[in-house]
Structure 1
Amino acid sequence: MFGLEVGGLFGLIWLIIILWAIIKVAQSNAGALAKAIWIVVLLFLPLIGLIAWLLFGPKG
C-alpha cells in the first residue's frame, strides 16, 4: 500500500518535470523543426530525452 502511494508521487513529479521540459522547448528560440524533434524525443524517450535536452538542447 505504501509503495503504490510513493510510486504515484514519483510518477506525478516525473510528469511535471517532463511537462516543464516540453514547455521550455516550446518557448525556446529554436526553429520549428528542432522544437518538434525535441518534443518527440521527450515524449518517446523521456529519461534519455530529458538528459539530452538539458545537456544539448536550445538555451533560451
Structure 2
Amino acid sequence: MEMMEIGGFFGLLLLIADIWAIVNVFGSDRGTGAKVLWILFILLFPLLGFLVWLLFGPRTTKSARP
C-alpha cells in the first residue's frame, strides 16, 4: 500500500509539472505548429516530454503589452 501512495504522489507531481509546461507552451511566442508539437510531445511522453521541454523548450513568453 505504501508504494502505491508514493507512486500516486509522484504521478500527481508529474501531472502538475506537465500542466505547467503546457501552460507555458501556450504563452510562448512560438508559432502554432511548434506549440502543437511541444504539447503533443509532453502529452504522449509525460516524463520525457517534460524533461526535454525543460531543457530545450521555449524560453520567452508573450509580452502583456499590445
Aligned residue pairs: how many?
A: 60
Does the aligned pair in 1 maintain the 2:25–2:38 contact within 8 Å? Answer: yes
What residue in structure 1 maps to residue 18 of structure 2? Answer: 18
Determine what percentage of the aligned residue pairs are the same residue: 48
Structure 2 runs not aligned, ≥5 long: 61-66
Q: Distance between the aligned counterparts of 2:13 and 2:48, measured in 1?
A: 17
> Which one is further off, 41-50 or 25-34?
41-50
**Normalising by the residue count of structure 2, what TM-score does the alignment of the two structures yield?**
0.81
Richer in helix (by share): 1
What residue in structure 1 maps to residue 47 of structure 2? Answer: 47
What residue in structure 2 maps to residue 5 of structure 1? Answer: 5
Alignment RMSD = 1.1
Superposed displacement of residue 32, structure 1: 0.7
**Normalising by the residue count of structure 1, what TM-score does the alignment of the two structures yield?**
0.88
Larger Rg, first or second structure (1 or 2): 2
Q: Distance between the aligned counterparts of 1:9 and 1:25, measured in 2?
A: 24
The amino acid of 1:35's aligned partner reads K
Q: Distance between the aligned counterparts of 1:47 and 1:9, measured in 2?
A: 14
> Which one is further off, 4-13 or 35-44?
4-13
